[in-house]
Amino acid sequence: MTKKNQWIAKHVQDKYVKLAQKDNFRSRASYKLLEINSKYHIIQKQATNVIIDLGAAPGGFSQVVARHSHLNTKIIAVDLLEMKSIAKVSFIQGDFRDANILKEIDSLLQQQSSKKAQLIMSDMSPNLSGDKFRDQCNIIELCELILDFALQYLQNNGYFLVKIFQGHGFVEYRQQLIQNFTKVICCKPEA
């Protein structure tokens, strides 16, 4: 059995994959955000909130935010891949680093009173090659790009949630977070 087939066989038996199907969530990632939010309350229920979900497809995080945020919260989801629509979510297909995509994000933010996001989150991961060192370098580079985005678009006292793999570059990245945020928490949700 190939590694890909082994991964698929393990994935379909995963309790969170089964639970997501039962609960009508788009992915098992929904349970990561639900667990994080139950501990740290990062989804605020204020009418003026803006939430940005980078690497949103298939929509697990966006779906949770849409269900747990204030009715008037503006949710902006961005991904290279297509994503089926979700009520309350404005989807932009493209690379969050692209100038045209940034203009679209800016345009949506200009319609909001705060002009910045209260929460920026990303469950993004680069395509994995199987070379652990190379994959770790790629995730660190991606996380640095996401942090740069957050520093530009996140309001004061906002929340920043990013997935990262612990390994080479992690300590340095965490130090960047400590330099830019009041509080930094590392956690590994059960999901």
Enter the pTM of the model: 0.91
> Could you report the per-residue pLDDT of 86-108, keeping only the tens digit for each?
999 999 999 999 999 999 999 99
> Could you report the per-residue pLDDT of 131-143, keeping only the tens digit for each?
999 999 999 999 9
Residues labelled as active-site residues: 163
Question: Residue type for 54, please?
Answer: L
> With pLDDT > 70 as the criterion, what percentage of the chain qualifies?
93
With both helix axes pointing from N to C terminus, report the angle between 170-180 and 132-153 in degrees, rounded to the nearest 10. 10
Kindly report the backbone phi and psi dihedral angles of residue 57, in degrees, each rounded to the nearest multiple of 5, phi listed first.
-60, 140
Query: How far is Cα 169 from Cα 126, in angstroms, rounded to an integer?
Result: 15
Q: For the purposes of burial, counting CB atoms within 10 Å of the CB of 105, is it exposed (0-12), middle (13-18) or buried (19 or more)?
A: buried
